[in-house]
Amino acid sequence: MSKVVLLDGGMGQELIHRSKYKPHPMWSAKVLLEEPDLVEDVHYDYILAGAKVITLNNYSCTPERLERDGSLDMFKKLQEKAIYVAKRARDRAKNSSEIKLAGCLPPLYASYKPENTPDFEESVLRYERIAEVQVDHVDILICETMSSIKELKAAGKVASKSDKPAWVSGSVSDQDGSFLRSGENLVDGVTELSKLSIDAVLLNCSFPESIATGLKILKTLNLPFGAYPNRFKSIDKLDAGGTVDVLEAREDLDEDNYAKTACDWVNDGAVIVGGCCEIGPKYINALRNALQENGHKIVSELK
């Protein structure tokens, strides 16, 4: 029997499916302001599905994205709103003491577009600004959808300096999971992360098939590892500042196939699993059931 941390699933796509408004480049920020109860309900539905870790809905609330698509003055208010809403969802749960909150250090400008990332030192300063608002309110800091070595290092450096567990998650090529989306070798990124005080290394927001390749590389790091894939057909249509409604969900990855795939990763040593874009509460529930049927114990933290 393995102990496995079960993460939540994707937030942005789930909100698109539930919201009465059209998608916006600042989608998670806009919904936080206009439909905070909807965000809370999605968090809560993931908890009911079995997730032990829920991630703040602050993915698009970076200063860089706000300056481009919204208002930079809203940065702190939005971060605090994301924290407040996640806490409300956790407090609704009967097992609230078991639920951990994860802060999020996302790509600064856009997902899958590492060429837009500032230089390393500037990226560190900008991630410090985000972490400073979150760190006293969360149990974990997750650096997610990091598509280049520079992003991995910058966000990882900031997260590892806090007193909270630091989890760093890369996003790999959908054509070959041994490469980051930047075209750099994943093994080189893993080597750089090994120089930091990282508590877990993951892969996210990529095809499950490419993640399976990448996990073989993560396993060599001798750190807790895991993954949370997306269910997109392709990310090619998404531009910086665009809206994710241009992307289509795969129909060949149903709840049972997803759960079996993630269980295979656990059987091969992964200790953290969950979902990203288009992996909703039904998928997390299916994974929870599959993990338990296979004799694994679902926990909320690594020990």
Question: Which among 138, 209, 199, 124 has a CA at the least distance from the CA of 173?
Answer: 209
Reported confidence tier of residue 195, pLDDT bands at 50, 70, 90: very high
Exposed e or buried b per residue across 156-173, where buried means at least 16 C-beta atoms within 10 angstroms of its C-beta: bbbbbebebbbbbbbbbb
Instruction: Cite the beta strand spans of 1-113 per DSSP E.
Output: 3-6, 53-55, 100-105
Reported confidence tier of residue 245, pLDDT bands at 50, 70, 90: low
Q: What is the pLDDT of residues 76-103, one digit of tens each?
A: 999 999 999 999 999 999 999 999 999 9
pLDDT above 70: residue 238: no
Question: How wide is the angle at C-alpha 130 spanned by C-alphas 108 and 113, nearest 5°?
Answer: 10
Reported confidence tier of residue 39, pLDDT bands at 50, 70, 90: very high
pLDDT above 90: residue 303: no
pLDDT of residue 90: 98
Measured between alpha carbons, how far is 220 from 204 in angstroms, rounded to an integer? 18
Reported confidence tier of residue 26, pLDDT bands at 50, 70, 90: low
pLDDT above 90: residue 67: no
Both tokens of 29, joined, read 């920020």
Instruction: Give the DSSP letter string of 252-263.
Output: S--HHHHHHHHH
Question: Which among 274, 211, 283, 230 has a CA at the least distance from the CA of 254?
Answer: 283
Complete domains list, the chain, with CATH: 13-224+234-253 (3.20.20.330)
- pTM summary value: 0.94
pLDDT of residue 22: 78
Distances (CA, A) of 136 to 162, 208, 258: 10, 33, 34
Q: Greatest CA span in the chain, whole angstroms?
A: 49
Q: Check if the beta carbon of residue 103 is closer than 8 Å to that of residue 137.
A: yes
pLDDT above 60: residue 242: no
pLDDT above 80: residue 286: yes
Reported confidence tier of residue 218, pLDDT bands at 50, 70, 90: very high
